[in-house]
Chains A and B, each alone.
Chain A
């Protein structure tokens, strides 16, 4: 149905050209789900944007994108507009920012019909309702009267899907449509897409960085690396007989559930929380007194030495609030938090924001030691070098600035920073969520390695069940401010 031939995309940059896609060719059949897998910078998103014609204006494109024997790249802007939203539609990663915040859902959904058909208002409304229901949203009439912020993330993405369907396109491009969503919602969205694919025979081009997500979902997989398609095949071929070394590397990066010996009940505790309730002051303020509302309810759990306790939950469930409360950053709380180790340290999602951009890595790592005033200059230097080595960075990184490091290297620095004072309890808040899969695998390995070496305990916060399964001895799920234990070896899929 759609054929891409020798597609190359580049961006002019000062002297030379920055090539992001190199001579890529592939086809999408009618009713097929094709997945393009690759890490950031692999050119997967650029490929998708070139098909729908939304590349940045300075992009240089060569090759052919054939739809119904017409080369889309040769069409005029107005001819391309006629195809956009009608024959080819697109859904994006972040359903919140991808919908217009000041326009009602109904109005946004009927827009493609308004642009491409002569249907009456009533007919448009009927189609919108029908598509919303197809995307799994009941009470379509009410949804249509809402603004995007009044819907949950999953509902927004369903609305996006309905919007992409109203003109019954031949092809729907889905650019990481589940990446920003909670695991549970992720699966629902994939189901909806699959259902639509079967009912409407709409072809889907699914862009993702996550091989595992697409395994049971797509008919064929393309693996892209550095702008090139390195492997193509059915999920079976890719998963069980990968030919390219990069595909193998991606497969190895998928977190695997590991069976770990149980922790003895008489192992000393590092943290004990009893009946913790946390409140936030209300945004809306009475004229004089400030009201508060509860965000965490009766939380009780402990963490023992050498243990990794996982905390899983959707966005806004209170995960980060709990970690802040443990660190003592929230004044509005009741209940008890007992620490049995030196004060815990944190590893953040993206350490870039927390590393002073004007200072070198060596200085940043030395700073906590300076504050302690216990070490001589030489001791500090030796400690920093030692710590860098432990997290797998050479000594020369002492003299680098944060911006000169890759995301993975920065996270290594973040880990080194949390350990440099000899803390033995670490709260890791989504430490690998911002990283590419292969880098993610390395960081997870490093965290486990350090745990053994220094007898560390982790409170490991993540929304990714696979990561949690690989890392944790015990898992709790957080839901609307309450904590529920997940049985060991239990099926996280049924959360």
Chain B
């Protein structure tokens, strides 16, 4: 419990520093949002009025303070580009990204563990070597390319979904998730291959340990040793990489969103950077940073659950 409180305090402090960095970065980088909003022909007066309107003339500290207070209240400010609240802008994008991330993570969990264990179990057999070659190939395929292939095969040839015809969750929930299956697979498959490789390595490393020999000396079968004794130990390093991947997935995949025409966070981020729509970019940066920090916190907690030795030290 004490550990949890400590963890949350560090989390808050980390987020505080991230918010400073996210805020300051956009004060320093070149390019004037007012100019990109009004165009190059804007008069001096127009620019000044716009600056005033956007609150850009206030001192730095006050602007930061206002911004953070706004964030805490759920008021993310006004988009420079669209002139609507950032919150409204994000409202439509988050469900898409969350649904995509959720589906991707579900795919990963459902496939990575059985496949990794299968691979480890038969690593020295012929089937294991064949599996290794396939796995390594899949690992090397970039998500966007996989996305294109999936679109081609399942979209254009088999017509399981209509490429580019995104169905909003407001229209039909089943249609929405149906459409997301293909992009989720495109993101999940190479990552799954990586986790499979990682899990297999970890299992094989664990196999060298003395406690495995002890387990066999008690009369355990190969499978029981694997599932009862090795698995939990082997998961400890895998959790780290899994955490990193989940954070990455939660941030939204720009490329895959582009390939499948999904109106997610990734695409909004790219568009906002191009338009120098800083309030939007800042909020997305904070979101991504917070996701990474929170997922890492969860990983730390998971560690303690998996490894009793860590529990005692703290």
B233 contacts A by Cβ under 8 Å: yes
Asked whether A82 lies within 8 Å of B211 as measured between CB atoms, the reply is no
**Tier of interface size on chain A:** 20 to 34
Contact status of A52 and B306, CB under 8 A, knowing A98-B211, A149-B312, A284-B313: no
Give the segment of B30-38, B108-116, B216-224 that binds chain A.
Answer: B216-224
Asked whether A101 lies within 8 Å of B218 as measured between CB atoms, the reply is no
Identify the closest chain B residue to A112 (Cβ). B218
Asked whether A149 lies within 8 Å of B308 as measured between CB atoms, the reply is yes
Asked whether A102 lies within 8 Å of B219 as measured between CB atoms, the reply is no
A90 contacts B by Cβ under 8 Å: yes
* A102: chain B residues within 8 A (beta carbon): 232-233, 236, 306-308
* B267: chain A residues within 8 A (beta carbon): none
B 285-314 binary contact with A (CB < 8 Å = 1; else 0): 000000000000000000000111100111
* A488: chain B residues within 8 A (beta carbon): none
Q: Which one, A84, A94, A149, A150, contacts B219 given CB within 8 A?
A: A84
Asked whether B229 lies within 8 Å of A100 as measured between CB atoms, the reply is yes
Identify the closest chain A residue to B216 (Cβ). A54
Contact status of A147 and B214, CB under 8 A, knowing A84-B219, A112-B219: no
* A99: chain B residues within 8 A (beta carbon): 211, 214
A491 to B241, CA, bound (A): 55
Asked whether B307 lies within 8 Å of A101 as measured between CB atoms, the reply is yes
Asked whether A115 lies within 8 Å of B218 as measured between CB atoms, the reply is yes
A457 contacts B by Cβ under 8 Å: no
Contact status of A97 and B216, CB under 8 A, knowing A102-B306, A103-B229, A283-B313: no
Asked whether B218 lies within 8 Å of A163 as measured between CB atoms, the reply is yes
Q: Which one, B217, B224, B309, contacts A84 given CB within 8 A?
A: B217
A92 contacts B by Cβ under 8 Å: yes
* A111: chain B residues within 8 A (beta carbon): 215, 218, 220
* A52: chain B residues within 8 A (beta carbon): 217
Asked whether A284 lies within 8 Å of B211 as measured between CB atoms, the reply is no
Asked whether A284 lies within 8 Å of B210 as measured between CB atoms, the reply is no
A424 contacts B by Cβ under 8 Å: no
Contact status of A100 and B211, CB under 8 A, knowing A147-B308, A283-B313: yes
Identify the closest chain B residue to A99 (Cβ). B211
Taking CB atoms and an 8 Å cut-off, the chain B residues in 187-223 that contact chain A are 209-211, 213-221
A54 to B306, CA, bound (A): 28
A209 contacts B by Cβ under 8 Å: no
A101 to B206, CA, bound (A): 11
A284 to B312, CA, bound (A): 11
* B229: chain A residues within 8 A (beta carbon): 100, 103
Quote the shortest CB–CB distance from A479 to chain B (angstroms). Answer: 23
A147 to B233, CA, bound (A): 13
Asked whether B213 lies within 8 Å of A98 as measured between CB atoms, the reply is yes
A 339-357 binary contact with B (CB < 8 Å = 1; else 0): 0000000000000000000
A313 to B42, CA, bound (A): 84
* A103: chain B residues within 8 A (beta carbon): 229, 232
* B213: chain A residues within 8 A (beta carbon): 54, 92, 98
A150 to B215, CA, bound (A): 20
Taking CB atoms and an 8 Å cut-off, the chain A residues in 84-99 that contact chain B are 84-86, 89-90, 92, 94, 97-99
A101 to B234, CA, bound (A): 12
A138 contacts B by Cβ under 8 Å: no
Q: Which one, A97, A115, A116, A147, contacts B309 given CB within 8 A?
A: A147
A112 to B218, CA, bound (A): 5
Interface size on B, residues (CB 8 A): 25
Tally the A-B contacts, defined by beta carbons under 8 Å. Answer: 75
B 232-252 binary contact with A (CB < 8 Å = 1; else 0): 110010000000000000000
A150 to B313, CA, bound (A): 11
Q: Is the interface of B mostly helix, strand, loop or mixed?
A: helix
A81 contacts B by Cβ under 8 Å: yes
Q: Is the interface of A mostly helix, strand, loop or mixed?
A: mixed
A480 to B212, CA, bound (A): 33
Asked whether B218 lies within 8 Å of A149 as measured between CB atoms, the reply is no
Identify the closest chain A residue to B10 (Cβ). A287
Asked whether B221 lies within 8 Å of A81 as measured between CB atoms, the reply is yes
Quote the shortest CB–CB distance from B3 to chain A (angstroms). Answer: 10
Q: Which one, A86, A92, A149, contacts B214 given CB within 8 A?
A: A92
Quote the shortest CB–CB distance from A16 to chain B (angstroms). Answer: 24
Q: Which one, B9, B214, B233, B313, contacts A98 given CB within 8 A?
A: B214
* B216: chain A residues within 8 A (beta carbon): 54, 84
A84 to B306, CA, bound (A): 29
Asked whether B218 lies within 8 Å of A100 as measured between CB atoms, the reply is no
B 88-132 binary contact with A (CB < 8 Å = 1; else 0): 000000000000000000000000000000000000000000000
Asked whether B309 lies within 8 Å of A101 as measured between CB atoms, the reply is yes
A82 to B220, CA, bound (A): 9
A24 to B218, CA, bound (A): 26
A147 to B218, CA, bound (A): 19
Asked whether A85 lies within 8 Å of B307 as measured between CB atoms, the reply is no
Asked whether B211 lies within 8 Å of A86 as measured between CB atoms, the reply is no
* B220: chain A residues within 8 A (beta carbon): 81, 85, 111, 115
A54 to B210, CA, bound (A): 12
Most chain-A Cβ atoms within 10 A of its Cβ — which of B210, B211, B312, B313? B211
Asked whether B219 lies within 8 Å of A81 as measured between CB atoms, the reply is yes
Quote the shortest CB–CB distance from A3 to chain B (angstroms). Answer: 21
Asked whether B308 lies within 8 Å of A101 as measured between CB atoms, the reply is yes
Quote the shortest CB–CB distance from A281 to chain B (angstroms). Answer: 14
A116 to B224, CA, bound (A): 14
Most chain-B Cβ atoms within 10 A of its Cβ — which of A92, A102, A287? A102
Quote the shortest CB–CB distance from A5 to chain B (angstroms). Answer: 23
* B209: chain A residues within 8 A (beta carbon): 97
A89 to B217, CA, bound (A): 6
Quote the shortest CB–CB distance from A185 to chain B (angstroms). Answer: 19
Quote the shortest CB–CB distance from A485 to chain B (angstroms). Answer: 34
Quote the shortest CB–CB distance from B198 to chain A (angstroms). Answer: 18
Asked whether B312 lies within 8 Å of A97 as measured between CB atoms, the reply is no
Identify the closest chain A residue to B213 (Cβ). A54
Asked whether A97 lies within 8 Å of B211 as measured between CB atoms, the reply is yes
Taking CB atoms and an 8 Å cut-off, the chain B residues in 15-59 that contact chain A are none
A 39-82 binary contact with B (CB < 8 Å = 1; else 0): 00000000000001010000000000000000000000000011
Q: Which A residues contact B (CB, under 8 angstroms)?
A: 52, 54, 81-86, 89-90, 92, 94, 97-103, 111-112, 115-116, 147, 149-150, 160, 163, 283-284, 287
Q: List the 7 closest pairs (A to B, CB-CB), nearest first.
A: A85-B219, A85-B218, A97-B210, A84-B219, A147-B308, A98-B210, A90-B217
14 new A-B contacts at CB < 8 Å, known A102-B306, A150-B312: A54-B216, A54-B217, A83-B219, A85-B218, A98-B210, A98-B214, A100-B214, A101-B211, A102-B236, A102-B307, A112-B219, A147-B308, A149-B309, A283-B313
A-B contact pairs, 7 of them (CB 8 A): A97-B209, A98-B214, A100-B215, A101-B211, A115-B219, A147-B308, A150-B312
